[in-house]
Chain A
């Protein structure tokens, strides 16, 4: 196992380069979700360019589709497409690399962008796995603002009803959305309690910590008879103090000065990670 934390800072830089080059993107949520994606793609899921059509592969759905930039970097690192191409073409005229997941690209299962679809679709995929007696697992990452969509809770009920222990949802609990703090916009109070009362196994962790992520995914895999949700408490903009916990970095494009500082911060943390 390489040092995933170190890798995450390389990928964070790719995200920033992509967004600067494409003049747009949802940078804050990319940074908060990055470690979840890295842990999933490099430690947890059996998914690679070689098995991407295999019926037994694990499934992943980026329900908070606006964090597609982070997903692109992880898929590129897995070898689905060259990162140079993504950075060069992202959001440009005629590009395949648009601002939300699109399954014309290898490695992407479902199109998203409209929030609140990923969990119900994952329920369908997990249900199919049960019907076909396959042991693949289904993962989906949602935003915490996204949880205001009623469809999320309809899916949550269905996951419980069908005892989908092959389903694992992750909430990127960064406590921010476009208009500010989630608790001011449409509060969730105690998410552990909420999901528990819907019959799910709930694990609350530091979502930017690889030790905790690894443990949580293992616990989810061992949990039988019910689906698991991981409340990944994260920092929006994680990686640089320029962006961290700042609502206006939801979809801000860094200027030259901010870019320099962000890259510098990434470098410092990357070096620290290498020595861990």
Chain B
């Protein structure tokens, strides 16, 4: 089982690049420990800005730095950096088009028993609704590395969400196909298309393997780029399938499921089932317990598909 969390990979990539590129600046809001960015703060004190517990300040300061030529990476729990600093993200990052990457750590229900204040089940909807904001939910550590390297190449605002704990690998060190803003088709099939993002990709792949044993062939699309959504890949996967299923660690409104349904509904109409967290504070528990309770696991995905195909 992989022991390296995606947040740790983000720190490694930033440290690697910050050596040569002095314009890379990391900002934290009493979040360097939770973001695994303490080593960055230690190694690059001149390229690190601490703002204290002040997420709105965090995002606006990042935008100001970016406007003056810095490549700003602002890292804070996803729940706060998405909705607490929402207007700062909208105006100072997206509208003013500044080179700010917002890193939402401990996303989704990573904070388990800490409750709804600490869960980010609205971030996809909130961030995606902002023009010029891009939204990424990488599925494993290898993809996180590729994504970070790609984001370091461009100068546009973006929001990335990663979870708190290490996730099982979807790809391999030697084999992690990645094209920026193109979804990765992890498996190809003909009966059902499963579109997932973030930590839900791995259970989707496991579900596809279980389905195969039962004679149901599934396509699995890793839609790490929730925005800009890779519509072509969705349509291609949906066209050959009898059913489309989306899986996400997010509220049922305005997330990946809503977006995929819009695309399928308008371009190749067929049934789309959205698997997501409920429209309610989630049950108390670890993220694993929460996923299992709401059927957001391989067995749950298999069950939904068998019931509906």
**Which residues of A are interface residues toward B (Cβ below 8 A)?**
22, 24, 65, 91-96, 98-100, 102, 111-116, 145-146, 148-150, 177-179, 182, 185-186
Q: In whole angstroms, what is the CA distance A114 to B32 when docked?
A: 17
Closest 9 CB pairs of A and B: A186-B52, A113-B117, A148-B52, A91-B113, A99-B114, A93-B285, A148-B54, A98-B115, A114-B117
Contact with A along B256-285 (1 / 0, CB 8 A): 000000000000000000000000000111
Among candidates B30, B34, B111, B285, residue contacting A177 with C-beta atoms closer than 8 Å? B30
Residue on A with the closest CB to B292?
A93
Contact across chains for B30 and A145 when beta carbons are under 8 A apart: yes
Contact across chains for B53 and A149 when beta carbons are under 8 A apart: yes
Q: A178-B30, A179-B33 are in contact. Are A116 and B114 (CB under 8 A)?
A: no
Contact across chains for B113 and A22 when beta carbons are under 8 A apart: yes
A62 CB → nearest B CB, Å: 12
Q: List 30 A-B contacts (CB under 8 A).
A: A65-B117, A92-B284, A93-B283, A93-B285, A93-B286, A93-B289, A94-B285, A95-B113, A95-B284, A96-B284, A98-B113, A99-B111, A99-B113, A100-B114, A113-B114, A115-B53, A145-B30, A148-B29, A148-B53, A148-B54, A149-B53, A150-B54, A150-B56, A177-B30, A177-B52, A177-B53, A178-B33, A186-B51, A186-B52, A186-B54
Residue on B with the closest CB to A151?
B56
Contact across chains for B284 and A93 when beta carbons are under 8 A apart: yes
Whether a CB of chain A sits under 8 angstroms from the CB of B6 is no
Residue on A with the closest CB to B52?
A186
Contact across chains for B283 and A102 when beta carbons are under 8 A apart: no
Contact with A along B35-72 (1 / 0, CB 8 A): 00000000000000011111011000000000000000
A270 CB → nearest B CB, Å: 29
Measured between beta carbons, the chain B residues less than 8 angstroms from A96 are: 284
With A98-B115, A148-B51 known, 14 other A-B pairs at CB within 8 A are: A91-B113, A94-B284, A96-B284, A99-B114, A113-B116, A113-B117, A146-B53, A148-B54, A150-B54, A177-B30, A178-B30, A179-B30, A179-B31, A185-B50
Number of residues in B with C-beta < 8 Å to the partner?
30
Q: In whole angstroms, what is the CA distance A114 to B79 when docked?
A: 9
- Count chain B CB atoms within 10 A of each CB in A93, A102, A112, A149 and give the residue with the most: A93
- Count chain B CB atoms within 10 A of each CB in A22, A96, A98, A177 and give the residue with the most: A98
Whether a CB of chain A sits under 8 angstroms from the CB of B146 is no
Q: In whole angstroms, what is the CA distance A25 to B247 when docked?
A: 31
B162 CB → nearest A CB, Å: 19
Contact across chains for A24 and B53 when beta carbons are under 8 A apart: no
Q: A94-B283, A177-B30, A179-B32 are in contact. Are A100 and B53 (CB under 8 A)?
A: no
Whether a CB of chain A sits under 8 angstroms from the CB of B156 is no
Contact across chains for A114 and B284 when beta carbons are under 8 A apart: no
Q: In whole angstroms, what is the CA distance A145 to B51 when docked?
A: 11
Measured between beta carbons, the chain B residues less than 8 angstroms from A149 are: 53-54
